[in-house]
Structure 1
Amino acid sequence: MRRSSAIVLASFCLGVCAYAQGFRFSNPSEDDERQAVEQQRKDARIDRQLSTPCRERIRDRKIVVLIGEETNGVIQAPQSNFGRHVDAINSRLRSLGLKTYSAEQIRRQIAQEEIDAYFKNDPDRALSASKRMAAQYVLKGVIATQAFRNTTVNVNQVNVALDFTLTDAAGRTVSSARATHASYAGADVSGMALKLIEERADEVVAQLYSDYCRNAK
């Protein structure tokens, strides 16, 4: 009987000690700590870029945002497909006091062949489109999305690269920004791609805004 009691008592002590030890030393993992530090650095960088002084006369100038998607080296840019992508960028630019056109305004005023000219680096047609919109700047975004089945964990995976170039009406580059991200997705691969774009848009817009305010003439 004494032996049984001793065993029970010892087991109880081991359980309590293990719990106490786990509670005492339950610090975040090294990966979590690294991610937290990286997020703090990213937030600080974005705050620093968004604090760039911006002349009021530049704030009043208009920016056209055009989005295309690259597939197998070919860019498709029907703006009807990218309304939500344009809105994700526009909303952030507008919150900073900049002027942009809605996706619907762009579709109404710029012919598709002129939009295609931007992505084919056709300066004459691009200039024509800028004049049509009375826009001083064009922000061209290219989304490269790679979706595939990750056989290791048996889920869909989406890799997204965002390349944005801000040019003035004459085609001179004012800023460029790039962001990449990878994530797992379910069946809705395109929906996840849009979510990733929205998650990284803050970084892209902060870089573009800082360069815009420093470099625009």
Structure 2
Amino acid sequence: MRVLIVEDEPYLAEAIRDGLRLEAIASDMVGDGDTALEYLAVNEYDAVILDRDIPGTHGDDVARWIITTGLPCRILMLTAADLLDEKIRGFEIGADDYVTKPFELRELVMRLRALGRRPAEGAPPVQEYAGLRLDTFRREVYRDGRYVALTRKQFAVLEVLLAARGGVISAETLLERAWDENADPFTNAVRITISSLRKRLGDPWLIHTVAGVGYRLDTAEAAAQEHL
């Protein structure tokens, strides 16, 4: 999951970013509506945590732009006013959920995860494929019933691969979806994380390298059939 945080209070924005990082959720952080639109135009996000009262383009107009452009990301609005009319206005614009300041970070994460359970494709909160079972809410992974302890980054990478259900994912896409904007595009982080993830999942390998293209998740038997 990759999230854009649009919040003009630096301490709050950093607290949200750090909290999401602990949940293996990559995030970018901006402090005004104009920059938010620039980020949304060039990056792909699963959700936007959007403060309504931000400098530049108003949060409501950012939400309208997301809706009219047809971006698939969910909108979780933040507001300092616990007024029903304010929430109704946000939902009418197209917000998927609402959180009133001050809020508990854990609640924000849970609401964000709930939004992630119902993207346009309708991916379930618990995904199963190639003998793997991944629970996004509990952040647990099992292989053939055996619990597999993963780091936050390993979990994030596996979540992207699992969602593709056997499709090939490029290293560039993994870097974009599981890391934030500060990731070095020339880094070996993806290769190193894939290597460590393979070891954690155990033999036979489930993550296969497609030369010159990227990586795919599938059973060893399925991968072998492709080379017959």
TM-score relative to the length of structure 1: 0.30
**Could you say which structure has the larger radius of gyration?**
1
State TM-score, norm by structure 2.
0.29
Larger RCO: Structure 1 or Structure 2 (Cα < 8 Å, ≥ 6 residues apart)? 1
Give 1 or 2: higher strand fraction.
Answer: 1
